[in-house]
Amino acid sequence: MIDTSVIEAENAKRVRDLETDYVALGEKLDRRGIDIRAITERAKGFGVAIPSWGTGTGGTRFARFPGEGEPANIFDKLDDCGVIHTLTRAAPNVSLHIPWDKADPEDLKAKAAQYGLSFDAVNSNTFQDQPDQEKSYKFGSLTHTDAATRAQAVEHNLECIEIGDKLGSKALTVWIGDGANFPGQTHMGRQFDRYLASMKEIYKGLPDDWRLFSEHKIYEPAFYSTVVQDWGTSLLTAQELGKKAMCLVDLGHHAPNVNIEMIVSRLIHAGKLGGFHFNDSKYGDDDLDSGTIDPYRLFLVWNELVDAEGTPGLDLAHMIDQSHNVTDPIESLMVSTMEIQRAYLQASLVDREALAGYQSDNDALMASATLRAAFRTDVDAILAKARLEDGGSIDPVKTYRVSGYRAVVADQRPKVSGAGGGIV
Ligand SMILES: [Mn+2]
């Protein structure tokens, strides 16, 4: 979809400056006892999963303003994911949403293989009704008071596992919108009991080498109470279900000012951190582009993850979960991929021995300065070098624009109307 000659021509314009910057950064890091090659190899080994739903323009509860050349189906979405990975070389996985992305698994695998893509966790959807669905989720899905509605929601999750298994996925992410809008609307204890009972049914259908991710979210669409509202409930769930159940942290699913890196640390301690939905947030579940609002927080989350490397059983799924309302989704997803990779590299530069010394000496000032020294290091040249060595683009956004990809697909794909209202 992106011609190699375009990437090569664009890289040729920038490769000399990159080499100069890379050598200069290498000398600087060398003075700090850091081998730039080792950090470059870490960059090359890094990957995130692109959410299939993120390739279309998102929206709010009020409206959606579709862009040109919106993907019309999962195969278009996979083409867009292919572009992102081709240029960044850091997005080798795709996370699917069922039933939105339902298609013949063999066709999906063939399309993904064209771009060297694999499938990460599959996401079930019981937060909306589908046209052919018998029971409504208006008053809940896995926690509904009606047993037949719960059974239908369980069945859908089992079907997601079956589909994911054919695609090579190894995890199911469950997020439900169940909750209440009024005090007294539901019995919070019984509702949670019903949730656990439904999740146990799903867990039973999980293959041995699969994991079940429980994703918490403080509010929305339920505005008074949400069944899996925070990491405490998520952890309780994961502990009750068993070894294959883990917690998934979506960075936008907490109250403002919550210390997310501390939640990360606690979940690692409990052996229950399974993965992430990366995005950024100013107020709530804003689903803004990673690293655009609070890059230091993203760094501090990565600081915990890099610190915990080597912990037995710690095997994280890195997924993006964003909504792009005012940008070209491909551009936003490429930039986000690189910002997440950047935070990972910066966290890899932390002088952990010095930090441990300052911590044990109670030298708060120097401990904090040690983290900020890593955070302030400009690793652009390493990121670009890693992409270049892997056949990607030194400057993915500029190369993408020069390629004219969006205009080409706008000609091929049907126009999308925004009149259907917003999506959350
Ligand atoms: Mn999420």
DSSP string, 248-304: EEETTSS-TT--HHHHHHHHHHTT-EEEEEE-B-SSSS--BPTTSS-HHHHHHHHHH
Report CA(357)–ligand 1 centroid distance (Å): 37
Report CA(73)–ligand 1 centroid distance (Å): 21
Report CA(108)–ligand 1 centroid distance (Å): 23
Q: Is the dihedral of CA 56, 60, 66, 67 positive or negative?
A: negative
Q: How confident is the model at residue 424, as a pLDDT?
A: 40
Report CA(347)–ligand 1 centroid distance (Å): 23
- Cis status, amide bond into 105, omega within 30 of 0: no
Total Cβ atoms within 10 A of residue 368? 12
Q: How confident is the model at residue 256, as a pLDDT?
A: 92
Report CA(361)–ligand 1 centroid distance (Å): 39
Our CA angle for 331, 334, 338, nearest 5°, is: 140
Closest to 289 (Cα-Cα) out of 237, 344, 326, 245: 326
How far, rounded to the nearest angstrom, does the alpha carbon of residue 198 sit from its chain's CA centroid?
25
- In 104-167, which ranges are E strands? 118-119, 122-123
Report CA(123)–ligand 1 centroid distance (Å): 9
Q: How confident is the model at residue 321, as a pLDDT?
A: 97
Query: What CA–CA distance (Å, rounded) separates 61 from 347?
Result: 36
Q: How confident is the model at residue 153, as a pLDDT?
A: 98
How far, rounded to the nearest angstrom, does the alpha carbon of residue 252 sit from its chain's CA centroid?
11
Report CA(235)–ligand 1 centroid distance (Å): 16
Q: How confident is the model at residue 282, as a pLDDT?
A: 96
Query: What CA–CA distance (Å, rounded) separates 370 from 348?
Result: 12
Query: What CA–CA distance (Å, rounded) separates 25 from 29?
Result: 6
Report CA(372)–ligand 1 centroid distance (Å): 28
Q: Tell me the pLDDT band of 418, cut-offs 50, 70 and 90.
A: low
β-bridge pairing 179-180 and 225-226: antiparallel
Our CA angle for 32, 37, 38, nearest 5°, is: 80
Report CA(343)–ligand 1 centroid distance (Å): 19
β-bridge pairing 93-95 and 211-215: unpaired
Report CA(353)–ligand 1 centroid distance (Å): 34
Report CA(174)–ligand 1 centroid distance (Å): 10
Mean pLDDT, the chain, whole residue set: 96
User: Is the pLDDT confidence value at 297 over 80?
Assistant: yes
The least confident of 184-193, 376-385, 410-419 is 410-419
Report CA(121)–ligand 1 centroid distance (Å): 12
What percentage of the chain's residues is helix, strand, coil (to nearest 5)? Answer: 50, 10, 40
Report CA(217)–ligand 1 centroid distance (Å): 8
- Cis status, amide bond into 396, omega within 30 of 0: no
CB 53 within 8 A of CB 100: yes
Report CA(321)–ligand 1 centroid distance (Å): 5
Mean per-residue pLDDT, 52-57:
94
Report CA(309)–ligand 1 centroid distance (Å): 23
Closest to 29 (Cα-Cα) out of 340, 298, 376: 376
Altogether, the residues listed in the chain come to a count of 424
Q: How confident is the model at residue 60, as a pLDDT?
A: 84
Report CA(408)–ligand 1 centroid distance (Å): 31
Query: What CA–CA distance (Å, rounded) separates 123 from 383?
Result: 30
212: which 2 tokens?
């079940």
Name the packing angle between helices 188-204 and 147-167 (round to 10°): 40
pLDDT in tens, 331-368: 999 999 999 999 999 999 999 999 999 999 999 999 99
User: Is the pLDDT confidence value at 421 over 70?
Assistant: no
Total Cβ atoms within 10 A of residue 420? 11
Report CA(175)–ligand 1 centroid distance (Å): 8
Report CA(402)–ligand 1 centroid distance (Å): 32
Mean per-residue pLDDT, 292-316:
98
- 415/182: higher pLDDT: 182
pLDDT in tens, 107-164: 999 999 999 999 999 999 999 999 989 999 999 999 999 999 999 999 999 999 999 9
How far, rounded to the nearest angstrom, does the alpha carbon of residue 1 sit from its chain's CA centroid?
24
Closest to 109 (Cα-Cα) out of 57, 162, 164, 159: 164
Report CA(35)–ligand 1 centroid distance (Å): 35
Query: What CA–CA distance (Å, rounded) separates 40 from 348?
Result: 11
Report CA(374)–ligand 1 centroid distance (Å): 28
Report CA(177)–ligand 1 centroid distance (Å): 11
Report CA(94)–ligand 1 centroid distance (Å): 14
Report CA(216)–ligand 1 centroid distance (Å): 8
Q: Tell me the pLDDT band of 214, cut-offs 50, 70 and 90.
A: very high
Report CA(351)–ligand 1 centroid distance (Å): 32
Report CA(107)–ligand 1 centroid distance (Å): 26
CA dihedral 20, 23, 28, 30 (to 10 degrees): 180
Our CA angle for 355, 361, 363, nearest 5°, is: 70
Q: Tell me the pLDDT band of 59, cut-offs 50, 70 and 90.
A: confident
User: Is the pLDDT confidence value at 62 over 90?
Assistant: no
Q: How confident is the model at residue 420, as a pLDDT?
A: 53
Mean per-residue pLDDT, 373-386:
98
How would DSSP label each residue in 19-59? HHHHHHHHHHHHHTT--HHHHHHHHHT---EEEGGGGSB--
Q: What is the pTM of this model?
A: 0.97
CB 270 within 8 A of CB 258: no
